[in-house]
Amino acid sequence: MKIEGTWILAPNEACAHQQIDDETVVVQADRGTASVLNTIGGQIFSLCDGKASVDEIVDQLDLEYDLEKSEIRQQVEQFAQDLMKQGLIRRLS
Amino acid sequence: MNHKVVIDTAGVFVSFQTRDVSLAELLRMTYAPFLCHYDPDYKIEINTLPAMPTVEKPGHNAMPAFLTDDHLQIANPHVQGLVRDSDRSGSIDMSADNAKESFGLFFRLLFIWLAGKQDCTLIHASALVKNGRAYLFTGPSGSGKTTIANMIDNARIIHDDHQLLTVQEGRPRIKTLPYMGRDDFLYQDQACFPVEKVFFLHQDSRAYLEPTSSARALSRILTVRIQDTDGPDGTCASEHLKNSLARCTQLVKATRCYDLHFTRTKLPLGIMETA
């Protein structure tokens, strides 16, 4: 599944999350799991807020990280795919 | 004729009414220490049926149980029904066969639901009290919670399977359980102990202790909790889940958390005192 830049992603309704120190814990009641995301993972998850598009998430991270934008996009898309596979986020539009 | 049994359920008085005299007797016998005669806070009618109709999935998430602030709904093959907070009443249908187990399943969910309304969260852990402080030992079923509880000297077991977590004055505390739906409650006095440490159990070939991060501790507590209380038997609505998440977060932030590796005969030295 290819993640498009115009997609708007949001947390799954059955999820709740909590940032602790520099890690984020995402709880999935419907699957009975809790996942720990590292700093950047937690940041991407938080930016999947049902408002920002994937392009806007990439733009936001591009301001903060000293990496090629194409590399940031690749990482965001890959990570978003993983989050969708795990059922932590879903596509809103 | 309706038979009425009032049970202290997580500090809330619930009246169960049934026409089935044998069920009423079963409840009186099973929950004898927790029967009470106060005016009930909730009234629930129980209908026993020879056979249960096909399960209809409750709520919108196709789970066998659904808990919100307003209601508890269950649709298990053996017990189905709804309890509403708005009029503090409800009705359940359950199979006349294995009534004790069917009622026990419903009662456990009711306990979780009512505990949540009182700013408490049920977690799956054994707990000991030593010098007025509680030590929690948690892990999946079979990880050794009861074994560990019995290996430590000079400490009193609060309960070897479940704890009621609350936060008072910013400090996580464990409340003793007057009832858990099983016959193995160990500490019947009403009491509340500040939590000193949390241990995540690993049966291993050698015994050692290592600190774990708050986030990892939280994910482990929640995974065990969800699988135990919200997964197969019932899914919590987001608000309920968020409240539990907030309480468990306060627990791991205010408490030292460790991975505890142990053998069947040996614990790391001084685990209660280790900084």
Q: Mean pLDDT score of chain B, rounded to an integer?
A: 82
Among B117, B146, B168, give the residue marking a domain's end: B117
Asked whether the beta carbons of B95 and B80 are under 8 A apart, the reply is no
Among B99, B117, B135, give the residue marking a domain's end: B117
Decide which of B188 and B132 is more confident.
B132
- The B residues from 190 to 249 touching A (CB cutoff 8 Å) are 213-216, 218-220, 222-223, 226-227, 230-232, 235-236, 238, 241-242, 245-246, 249
B231 contacts in chain A (CB < 8 Å)? 29, 31-32
> Which range marks the domain in which residue B81 is found?
3-117
> For B97-114, what is each residue's pLDDT tens digit?
888 888 888 887 888 788
Residue with tokens 């069920």: B23
Of all residues in chain A, the one with the smallest CA distance to B64 is A30
Q: Assess whether B75 and B184 both reside in one domain.
A: no
- Non-local (6+) Cβ contacts of A60 within 8 A are A47, A52
Asked whether the beta carbons of B102 and B95 are under 8 A apart, the reply is yes
- Separation CA A57–CA A46 (nearest Å): 10
Among B85, B117, B149, give the residue marking a domain's end: B117
pTM of this structure: 0.72
Options 3.40.630.30, 3.40.50.970, 1.20.1250.20, 3.90.930.60; which CATH number does A9-87 get?
3.90.930.60
Q: Indicate whether B270 belongs to any domain.
A: no
Q: pLDDT under 50 in chain A at which residues?
A: none
Question: Does position B60 have pLDDT exceeding 90, yes or no?
Answer: no
Structural domains counted in chain B:
2
Residue with tokens 């249908």: B93
Catalogue the E-assigned strands of B19-154. Answer: 42-49, 65-67, 71-75, 79-84, 89-95, 120-130, 133-138
Q: Assess whether B224 and B130 both reside in one domain.
A: yes
Mean pLDDT of B151-166: 82
Q: Indicate whether B67 belongs to any domain.
A: yes
Question: Does position B6 have pLDDT exceeding 90, yes or no?
Answer: yes
Answer yes or no: do A24 and B216 touch at CB < 8 A: no
